[in-house]
Amino acid sequence: AGQLRRTVGARVKSELGVGRREVSTMTGQKRDRPDTRIAPSILSSDFARLAEECARMMSCGADWLHVDVMDGHFVPNLTLGPPIVASLRKHTNAYLDCHCMLSDPAAWVQQFAEAGANGFTFHLEVFAPDGNVDEAAYEKLSGLCAQVRELGMRPGIALRPATPTRSVYRLIDSGALDFVLVMCVEPGFGGQKFMESAMPKVRDLRSRFPSIDIEVDGGLAPSTIDAAASAGANVIVAGSAIFNAEQPETVIRGLRESVDSAAADMTAAPVAA
């Protein structure tokens, strides 16, 4: 009871993604990545008016709502949990993108599924602190992804700024993941400065896996979006830049236009046979 089952579209694979071109399900236009998704982070909202804030974001053109879940262990901050997600689900049909900064994510999968989460992202570093995924870590990572999917949510893995992208190659190739979240700040607190040094990771993932959702989180704003867009990101998490804006709809539209423009520009490049 309470679980919301979703159908996840099948991913079409090709060798390292060479020559692949996506077609937007929204516009029918060719692009080099999946559809753009703008996900305001509700960590920056007015918690006393959370349902209203979420409705406001969706009316301003947001695609998803990003929920930062912190346990006070994996990261020092303590924020939202399944009861908040369950309460929100009563007031919105929006896609709830849960970024779980938890030291034991497996212990919480069932509760988030029952609460109505759509996406469940956990950190690779829980099982491979240095980013080196051995066979034991791979089995734990892939097993948790399978559990997330079985419970009707989309599985994602987050990478801290120092964690190399090679850590997720095998998981993506195996079909275990639906998306990768590349952190552009250290996880745990909002309002940090965007780390452009994380963009080569986005570029590497997009060149290898054009069909996967690549999400970026941390310091995204009108002044930094072009770097993320040109690197290949298609899911943009932004908190204070949206919630603190006088016209959030203008910020959301600008973020989307930057990604859409980069996605279209890249398709103009020659396609390998």
Backbone region of residue 188 per phi and psi (left: phi > 0; alpha: psi in -120 to 50; beta: other values): left
- Please tell me which residue in 63, 71, 97, 217 is annotated as part of the active site: 217
**Do 120 and 100 contact (CB within 8 A), yes or no?**
yes
Query: What contacts 152, CB < 8 A, 6 or more positions away?
Result: 3, 4, 5, 6, 113
Cα distance from N-terminal residue to C-terminal residue, the chain = 49
> What span, in angstroms and rounded, lies between the C-alpha atoms of 249 and 38?
11
CA 215 to chain centre: 4
- Please tell me which residue in 35, 68, 178, 260 is annotated as part of the active site: 68
Query: What contacts 157, CB < 8 A, 6 or more positions away?
Result: 121, 122, 123, 124, 141, 145, 168, 171, 177, 180, 181
Return the closest-CA partner of residue 242 out of 87, 94, 113, 61: 61
CA 20 to chain centre: 21
Is-catalytic flag, 134?
no
Compute how many other C-beta atoms are within 10 angstroms of the C-beta atom of residue 156: 24
Return the closest-CA partner of residue 192 out of 75, 35, 51, 103: 75
> What span, in angstroms and rounded, lies between the C-alpha atoms of 213 and 21?
14
Name the DSSP class of 154: E
> What span, in angstroms and rounded, lies between the C-alpha atoms of 166 and 163?
9
Is-catalytic flag, 68?
yes
> What span, in angstroms and rounded, lies between the C-alpha atoms of 213 and 210?
8
**Which positions are catalytic?**
68, 217
